[in-house]
Amino acid sequence: MASLRDIKNKINSTKKTSHITKAMEMVSTSKLMKAQSNAVKFTPYMKKIKEVMTTIFSNNSNLEHPMLSNREVKKTLYVVITSDSGLCGGFNSNIIRNLVNTVKERHASTDEYGIVAIGNYGAEFFRKNDFPLIAKYRDIPDEPSFAQVKEITNKIVGYYVDEVYDKVYLHYNHFVSMISQEVTEEQVLPITNTNELIQEQENNLLGSYNFEPSEEGVLNIILPQYAESMIYGSILDSKASEHSARKTAMKNSTDNANSIIDSLSIKYNRARQAAITQEITEIVSGAAATQ
């Protein structure tokens, strides 16, 4: 049976742990609020890009661009967004498990696909497990600059335009609610959802646009921006999911620590009471023996 000192030490160490997890929960709550705000602020920009693209595709369905070309898929690129650190429950393991299952179903060998990892956790996993990791980006802030995202997107678009890869998918955790994140796959390239864009906007009034110098000229600029926006929005979405998962994990850890403290406190009180009872018994027995 553990001594009173051992139990007391366990209670004190568990209390210190609960203070740390409680502080991390509060930090994650604050970061989550900001991440949600960033995602909401980005929505109008993405909506306007879709509106302009819809207008162009509605006026001319025969437009050609390298990012629109749909060719035979020989090699696929997966862009995977994870966190830079752990302590966020199943946030990273869910996205990695989903990707591993996806590539096993779709590809017979590692020669048929490549991976771009955004986030240190995923980059280290793919490196250690000999996945075809072709690029990695670490320490992405909660509110990345568009220049950082542009660098990533330019590399990804370059792989597609140069026909190194024939299809590009994006894997990330979509923020659903404070307690729920959904692993999501989106096709980035080729951009084949032009009909979906038109259908999405058909019940809304589109703005009236004059395109200078031409619709094709505007399309050459806006398509890379559309890809950048998809990746940028996914990073913001993933950041909100990360902080939500970490907040939940830290709350669960704090609750578990408090439960352990309560259990240890009961055990300590019982041991202390047993020790006191034993001392009283010994005193009474000693007094009786002297009579």
pLDDT bracket for residue 196 (50, 70, 90): low
Q: Are residues 157 and 172 located together in one domain of the fold?
A: yes
- Which CATH number characterizes residue 69's domain? 3.40.1380.10
* Paired strand residues for 173: 183
CA distances from 43 to 36, 157, 167, 236, 266 (A): 11, 23, 25, 11, 52
- Omega cis (within 30) before 144: no
Q: Are residues 201 and 256 located together in one domain of the fold?
A: no
**CB-CB contact of 39 with 183 (8 Å):** no
Q: Are residues 15 and 83 located together in one domain of the fold?
A: no
Q: Are residues 151 and 265 located together in one domain of the fold?
A: no
Q: Are residues 208 and 148 located together in one domain of the fold?
A: yes
pLDDT bracket for residue 200 (50, 70, 90): low
Q: What is the mean pLDDT of residues 9-18?
A: 92
Provide the residue count of the chain.
Answer: 291
**CB-CB contact of 245 with 177 (8 Å):** no
| Nearest-10 Cα torsion for 273, 274, 275, 281 | 110
Q: Are residues 10 and 114 located together in one domain of the fold?
A: no
Q: Are residues 256 and 124 located together in one domain of the fold?
A: no
pLDDT at 214: 76
Q: Which domain holds residue 278?
A: 4-25+249-286
Q: Is residue 34 part of a domain?
A: no
Q: Are residues 226 and 262 located together in one domain of the fold?
A: no
Q: Are residues 226 and 161 located together in one domain of the fold?
A: yes
pLDDT score of 189 more than 80: yes
Q: Is residue 291 part of a domain?
A: no
Instruction: Measure the CA–CA gap between 10 and 150, rounded to whole angstroms.
Output: 50
Q: Are residues 213 and 274 located together in one domain of the fold?
A: no
**For the purposes of burial, counting CB atoms within 10 Å of the CB of 174, is it exposed (0-12), middle (13-18) or buried (19 or more)?**
middle
pLDDT, tens only, 72-131: 889 999 999 999 988 888 899 999 999 999 999 999 999 999 999 999 999 999 999 999
pLDDT at 58: 72
pTM: predicted TM-score of the whole model, two decimal places:
0.83
pLDDT score of 195 more than 60: no
Q: Is residue 37 part of a domain?
A: no
Q: Is residue 30 part of a domain?
A: no
Residue type, 208: S
Q: Is residue 36 part of a domain?
A: no
- Omega cis (within 30) before 213: yes
Within 62-197, strands assigned E span: 76-81, 113-118, 133-137, 167-177, 180-189
pLDDT, tens only, 211-253: 777 777 888 888 888 888 888 999 999 999 999 999 999 999 9
Q: Are residues 146 and 130 located together in one domain of the fold?
A: yes
pLDDT score of 208 more than 70: no
Q: In what order do the strands lie in the sheet with 133-137?
A: 133-137, 113-118, 76-81, 167-177, 180-189
- Which CATH number characterizes residue 253's domain? 1.10.287.80
**CB-CB contact of 156 with 167 (8 Å):** no
Domain tally, the chain: 2
Q: Are residues 253 and 241 located together in one domain of the fold?
A: no
Residue type, 8: K
Q: Is residue 35 part of a domain?
A: no
pLDDT bracket for residue 25 (50, 70, 90): very high
